[in-house]
Amino acid sequence: MCLSSILHFKEAPRRVNTQIRPYENMELTMANKHKSAFTLVEVLLSLAILGMLMAAVAVAFDASVKNYQANEGIYRAVNTGRQTLLRITNDVRTAENVLKLGVPGGDPPTHLTLRNADGNDITYVYSTTDDTVNGLEKNTLYLFTEGGMKYKLCENISSMTFNRTTEPVRNVRIKMKITDPDSGVTQTLVAAAVVRRNLGD
């Protein structure tokens, strides 16, 4: 054999068996499945935790909605009550005189009669009962004018009183309790006013 033949001689490549036996392929597949999947216990546990979290969120949301509705109702009621007290105190300050507090035999006084700057008498009446004869509703404050007109000023009043400090009347103190009919929340409002035209007496 010549030298050139020896130099150009190459060893034949070895054949590597790349075939995987069937049982080995099955073992690899099962191993991959176990690595990427959840067990039934893990799924059930996750669902239970998710259910508890959703229940807690639902309870918190429901409480938030009820709290908002309760606050909204009492806010409207208190706002109406404050506007009513503002009107009464303005009438007291500018009145010629306070003619009467309450009604004969009435205790506590729930009526207030003023003579305004125009010389007309006006009366605030808090109705504690339903009066079908006079068209009055329970727990409602009305304003009656000298001409016989009647105005409904405020509803849902659980109690209301008019008190004075001296005679002749120089100061009128008004106490009102407002109750929200939906939530049952009660708020007390108090106001006072001085009859300015009596200050020089």
Average pLDDT of span 53-61: 92
Confidence (pLDDT) at 119: 86
Percentage of the residues of the chain whose pLDDT score is greater than 90? 30
3-state DSSP call for residue 155? coil
Q: What is the pTM of this model?
A: 0.63
Given its phi and psi angles, is residue 119 left (phi above 0), alpha (psi -120 to 50 degrees) or beta? left
pLDDT tens digits for 95-123?
888 877 765 455 568 888 888 888 889 99
pLDDT at position 135 over 70: yes
* Residue located via tokens 């893990």: 42
3-state DSSP call for residue 74? helix
Query: Nearest to residue 188, comparing CAs of 69, 78, 70?
Result: 78
Residues ≥6 apart with Cβ < 8 Å to 180:
70, 73, 74, 76, 77, 156, 186
Question: Would you kindly state where each structural domain of the chain is located, as residue ranges?
Answer: 67-198
DSSP 103: -
Mean predicted lDDT score pLDDT of the chain: 79
pLDDT tens digits for 26-39?
555 555 555 567 78
Average pLDDT of span 43-71: 89
Confidence (pLDDT) at 143: 93
